């Protein structure tokens, strides 16, 4: 049955609530949110599904280690995930938890139907299991005895299991991938999947008896359903399968399953085979995006190299984080996260290019035509460029090329900046050239339109831009607002204020030092690691303010037999005079760093007080240079 037109069903993976999520998970969810927002703007009836994958051996073990029942264990993590999506302004239509009754009913029914079809049989499984990946592996597929996906140790599983006749579907799967070149994207992932399928397909173990935390197999309570079989069915539950046939007819099949590249195999092989067995239509596209790396490694909790999106939001705001995630890395490729690339991206695109365009244009409208939107008189080249940009954004988003869409919008911003340089409105003004109002109008209109084009990606910025232009979109905003010429002449502009402050690397580093102590993602360390930190009591012998830096003080401290220069970000709480003679705690073996051109040979310890940093000190005077253990 063909799906109704004008609907768009998009999903993210449902995440394991085994730990707090990091920016890798935020990456997928923000991308899905941008696509959902875009399709809503286009007037489609969008269903955006995300959620949590709560069963399985990994969660059962983590809960046991924490001394909690699995459900008690996941509860606060799931609440934290919902909070995080709130902070990132994710507009999901449904947050599905696999522990919900509606989902348990679907999994049981899916199992029953596939069994009735003759595609499930009982046998003995003997092979390897990777608990972090929740994945079965035959001996021959292991790499140096470890999981071929994540490289971690596997465990022997030897138990009675139900099997799904996956092998029966190999030929149909190959045919489907061949006939639908868009089914698995990007093309490199499709090629991988085809070669995987051509190398043969074994039946899949779909139940476990060696632990309890899962959905019971209908008719055999000794077994719980394999967590991936359970999880994949979430896409049916979320579309209304069983519970809401009207919705299901409307939204199924999914238009896009967005997933990370490591789980394409589950979505390109197991999931379509399950749907074939159920006689249900297959999703239109599975897009396997790349990984956010930290250095050369995949960011992952177990490696302890994760970046917490919350701290980035607190420090920089939600739009800078969304922009970085969507713009920085070509969607599909891997990309390394660095704080440096983050700041460079925000400064270049948002503070400089976009901020300057707005600032310069508003300034000129105030200076040259009294601060009101002038009337347009003739088409300008920017109108043509704006139209071309809109078309580029549409094509890019249809192809899920999010970074290409973002880049196209920034190109328009830059074209407008170049246009200012070329047309030099200040000269037109001097020469009383009658083209001036039209030029200014086209700049203002370009800015308004850039705001509309940015609306799928950024959540606060568009409205902040329009406010300065004195424009209010008709509610709800639609993609029709990308039509040229909607800014009415005569409206009054605000005097303008920067929408994105430039991020100053040194200041940001200073702030980060203060935040690090409260960062919940800091991993546990052994005493030997702590012993590597050389902490000393030092006495401040001289102090002065660092010129033009609000937070920095330049100190000389004595360690008894040695004096050091330290730059410290404590000027909010202390004056130079406060500090002379004070004893402080110094990290003495920190690599030297430069702040505002001054070298700092160590760092003072301070608590992150709500009114600024508060220095640590000993409770009684001690000799300068004493070691702290």
Residues that bind ligand MSP (CB under 6 A): 13-16, 24-25, 27-28, 53, 231-232, 234, 259-260, 262-263, 291-292, 298-299
Number of alpha carbons in the 13 Å side-chain half-sphere of residue 242? 17
Cβ atoms within 10 A of the Cβ of 516, count?
A: 11
Place of tokens 């030897």: 158
Residue 260 CB, nearest approach to ligand MSP (Å): 3
Please choose, from the candidates 547, 627, 540, the residue with its C-alpha nearest in 3D space to the C-alpha of residue 588. 627
Place of tokens 């008709």: 474
Q: Which of residues 232 and 412 has its CB atom nearest to ligand MSP in the complex?
A: 232
- Say if CB 24 and CB 299 are below 8 A apart: yes
Rounded Cα–Cα distance for residues 203 and 165 (Å): 5
Residue 258 CB, nearest approach to ligand MSP (Å): 7
Dihedral angle computed from the Cα positions of residues 557, 558, 562 and 566, in that order, rounded to the nearest 10 degrees: -10
Place of tokens 């900046």: 417
Q: How far is CA 24 from CA 49, 85, 93, 164, 293, in A?
A: 18, 13, 21, 31, 8
Q: Which of residues 228 and 574 has its CB atom nearest to ligand MSP in the complex?
A: 228
Place of tokens 């190959």: 174
Residue 289 CB, nearest approach to ligand MSP (Å): 7
Is the peptide bond prior to 476 cis by the omega test (within 30 degrees of 0)? yes
Q: Which of residues 21 and 454 has its CB atom nearest to ligand MSP in the complex?
A: 21
Q: Which of residues 52 and 482 has its CB atom nearest to ligand MSP in the complex?
A: 52
Residue 27 CB, nearest approach to ligand MSP (Å): 5
**Angle at alpha carbon of residue 42, lines to 41 and 48, rounded to 5°:** 70
From the centroid of its chain, how far is CA 603? Answer: 32
Q: Which of residues 14 and 364 has its CB atom nearest to ligand MSP in the complex?
A: 14
Residue 214 CB, nearest approach to ligand MSP (Å): 13
Please choose, from the candidates 14, 26, 400, 402, the residue with its C-alpha nearest in 3D space to the C-alpha of residue 189. 400
Cβ atoms within 10 A of the Cβ of 173, count?
A: 23
Q: Which of residues 13 and 451 has its CB atom nearest to ligand MSP in the complex?
A: 13
The residues, any chain, with a CB within 8 Å of residue 86's CB and separated by 6 or more, are none
Sheet of strand 135-137, all strands in order from the earlier edge strand to the far edge: 135-137, 120-130, 155-164, 204-205
Burial class (CB in 10 A: 0-12, 13-18, 19+), 603: middle
Q: Which of residues 14 and 624 has its CB atom nearest to ligand MSP in the complex?
A: 14
Q: Which of residues 259 and 436 has its CB atom nearest to ligand MSP in the complex?
A: 259
Q: Which of residues 54 and 510 has its CB atom nearest to ligand MSP in the complex?
A: 54
Residue 601 CB, nearest approach to ligand MSP (Å): 36
Q: Which of residues 259 and 365 has its CB atom nearest to ligand MSP in the complex?
A: 259
Residue 263 CB, nearest approach to ligand MSP (Å): 5
Q: Which of residues 290 and 613 has its CB atom nearest to ligand MSP in the complex?
A: 290
Q: Which of residues 107 and 557 has its CB atom nearest to ligand MSP in the complex?
A: 107
Rounded Cα–Cα distance for residues 495 and 262 (Å): 50
Residue 575 CB, nearest approach to ligand MSP (Å): 44
Is 490 in a helix, a strand, or coil? coil
Residue 193 CB, nearest approach to ligand MSP (Å): 15
DSSP 107-169: HHHHHHHHHHTT-EEEEEEEEEEETTTTEEE-GGG-BTTB-TTT--B-EEEEEEEEEE-GGGG
Q: Which of residues 302 and 618 has its CB atom nearest to ligand MSP in the complex?
A: 302
Rounded Cα–Cα distance for residues 99 and 102 (Å): 9
Residue 169 CB, nearest approach to ligand MSP (Å): 18
| SS3 annotation, 411-463 | HHHHHHHHHHHHHCHHHHHHCCCCCHHHHHHHHHHHHHHHHHHHCCCCCCHHH
Residue 233 tokens read as 């069915």
Is 309 in a helix, a strand, or coil? helix
Residue 519 CB, nearest approach to ligand MSP (Å): 18
Beta-bridge partners for 555: 543, 566
Residue 36 CB, nearest approach to ligand MSP (Å): 15
Residue 336 CB, nearest approach to ligand MSP (Å): 11
Residue 150 CB, nearest approach to ligand MSP (Å): 10
Q: Which of residues 65 and 528 has its CB atom nearest to ligand MSP in the complex?
A: 65
Residue 132 CB, nearest approach to ligand MSP (Å): 9
Q: Which of residues 25 and 343 has its CB atom nearest to ligand MSP in the complex?
A: 25
């Amino acid at each position: 049955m063909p799906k109704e037109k004008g609907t768009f069903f998009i999903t993210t993976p449902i995440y394991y609530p085994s730990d707090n999520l990091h920016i890798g998970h935020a990456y997928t969810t923000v991308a899905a949110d941008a696509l959902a927002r875009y399709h809503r703007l286009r007037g489609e009836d969008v269903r955006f599904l995300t959620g949590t994958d709560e069963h399985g051996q990994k969660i059962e073990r983590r809960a046991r280690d924490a001394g909690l029942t699995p459900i008690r264990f996941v509860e606060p993590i799931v609440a934290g995930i919902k909070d995080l999506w709130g902070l990132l302004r994710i507009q999901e239509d449904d947050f599905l938890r696999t522990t919900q009754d509606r989902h348990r009913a679907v999994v049981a029914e899916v199992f029953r139907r596939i069994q009735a079809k003759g595609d499930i049989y009982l046998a003995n499984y003997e092979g390897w299991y990777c608990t972090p990946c929740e994945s079965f592996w035959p001996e021959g597929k292991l790499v140096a005895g470890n999981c071929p996906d994540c490289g971690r140790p596997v465990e022997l599983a030897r138990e009675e299991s139900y099997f799904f006749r996956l092998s029966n579907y190999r030929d149909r799967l190959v045919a489907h991938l061949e006939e639908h070149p868009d089914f698995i994207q990007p093309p490199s992932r499709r090629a991988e999947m085809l070669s995987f399928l051509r190398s043969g397909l074994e039946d899949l173990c779909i139940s476990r008896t060696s632990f309890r935390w899962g959905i019971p197999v209908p008719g055999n309570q000794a077994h719980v359903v394999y967590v991936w079989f359970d999880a994949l069915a979430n896409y049916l539950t979320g579309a209304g399968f069983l519970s809401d046939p009207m919705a299901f007819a409307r939204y199924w099949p999914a238009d896009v399953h967005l997933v990370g590249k490591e789980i394409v195999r589950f979505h390109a092989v197991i999931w379509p085979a399950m749907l074939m067995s159920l006689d249900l239509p297959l999703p239109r596209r599975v897009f396997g995006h790349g990984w956010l790396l930290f250095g050369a490694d995949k960011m992952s909790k177990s490696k302890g190299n994760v970046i917490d999106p919350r701290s980035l939001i607190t420090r920089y705001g939600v739009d800078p984080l969304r922009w970085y995630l969507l713009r920085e890395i070509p969607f599909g490729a891997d990309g390394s996260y660095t704080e440096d690339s983050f700041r460079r991206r925000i400064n270049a695109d948002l503070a400089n290019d976009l901020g300057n365009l707005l600032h310069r244009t508003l300034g000129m409208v105030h200076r040259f035509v009294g601060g009101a939107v002038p009337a347009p008189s003739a088409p300008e080249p920017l109108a043509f460029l704006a139209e071309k940009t809109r078309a580029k954004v549409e094509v890019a988003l249809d192809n899920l090329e999010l970074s290409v869409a973002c880049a196209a919008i920034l190109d328009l911003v830059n074209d407008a900046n170049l246009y200012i340089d070329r047309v030099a409105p200040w000269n037109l003004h001097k020469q009383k050239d009658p083209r001036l109002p039209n030029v200014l109008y086209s700049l203002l209109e370009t800015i308004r339109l850039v705001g509309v084009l940015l609306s799928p990606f950024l959540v606060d910025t568009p409205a902040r831009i329009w406010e300065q232009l004195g424009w209010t979109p008709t509610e709800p905003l639609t993609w029709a607002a990308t039509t040229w010429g909607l800014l009415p002449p005569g409206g009054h502009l605000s005097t303008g204020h920067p929408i994105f402050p430039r991020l100053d690397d040194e200041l940001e580093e200073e702030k980060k030092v203060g935040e690090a102590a409260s960062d919940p993602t800091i991993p546990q360390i052994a005493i030997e690691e702590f012993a590597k930190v050389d902490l000393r009591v030092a006495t401040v012998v001289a102090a002065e303010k660092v010129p033009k830096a609000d937070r920095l003080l330049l100190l000389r401290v004595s360690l008894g037999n040695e004096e050091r220069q330290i730059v410290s970000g404590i000027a909010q709480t202390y004056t130079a005079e406060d500090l002379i003679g004070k004893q402080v705690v110094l990290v003495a073996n920190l690599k030297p760093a430069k702040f505002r051109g001054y070298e700092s040979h160590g760092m003072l310890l301070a608590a992150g007080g709500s009114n600024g940093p508060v220095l640590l000190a000993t409770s009684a005077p001690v000799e300068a240079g004493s070691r702290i253990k």
